[in-house]
Amino acid sequence: MGAVNTRKIIDMKGKEPIVMVTAYDYPTAKIVSEAGVDIILVGDSLGNVVLGYDSTIPVSMEEMLMHIKAVRRGAPDAFIVGDMPFLSYEVSIEKAVENAGLMLKAGANAIKLEGGEEYAETIRHIIRAGIPVMGHLGFTPQSVNLLGGHRVQGKTNESKEKLLRDAKALEKAGCFAIVLELVVENVAKEITESVNVPTIGIGAGRFCDGQVLVFHDIVGLSQINLKFVKRYANTYEIMLDAIKKYREEVKSKLFPEEKHTFE
């Protein structure tokens, strides 16, 4: 499944910034892969940006597996990380290992799960089964109801100390990388310097070992303005304009033309 592996990703820490982008289907995976990113994340964010849910919580294992398969077909040589959806790993260690294994069978190279030291034992068992694990700290979307919304983490000493403890616990458990989401920049920097595995930031400032953004945010399909996102194109407007032109040409009988017909 390609030359990139967890060892190569770990070795990039402090040497070369890691680029991770989400993809959810064949065409987005093909684009992201051709762009040469280091990691493709099939995120449970597909619930928001592809399936139209109001959070990631409704996303099922079946939906994740279907999208992982599609992404693998679009990016046959990429290093793909699959997101473990809500309740796919919290219920029991056995269920967590089983679901993580299903993700690998679907085409992922590794899995990502949210949470800190409370999931260290689960992570150890998943890794023991031969499945690489990426951690996820800070704002964890599946815990949005506990966190009281999309709140930046690490603002208090208590929050900062917990993040540091959790990061070290994830490293000790065997995670090959840790996503830091919506974390105060100086705290993300301290975490990055305190662990020997790469940190990948999203809304966590300039000092993480890598960055991840949602495909639809990068290309302007989502049309959502977030402080930590940089939009590199506005494909929503381009696509909308194309469909409007098509509609107008059909209505005015300009399409199809003779060149579009068969003898």
What is the rounded CA–CA span in Å between residue 212 and residue 245?
34
Phi, psi of 123 (to 5 degrees): -60, -45
Q: Which residues are catalytic?
A: 181
Which one-letter DSSP state was computed for residue 52? -
What is the rounded CA–CA span in Å between residue 85 and residue 126?
15
What are the structure tokens assigned to 189, written together?
């920097």
Q: Name every residue whose Cβ is closer than 8 Å to that of residue 227 and which is 6 or more positions away in sequence.
A: 203
Rg value, the chain, Cα: 20
Which one-letter DSSP state was computed for residue 118? G
Distance of CA 95 to the CA centre of its chain: 22
What is the rounded CA–CA span in Å between residue 61 and residue 99?
8
Helical pair 93-106 and 61-74, crossing angle rounded to 10 deg: 30
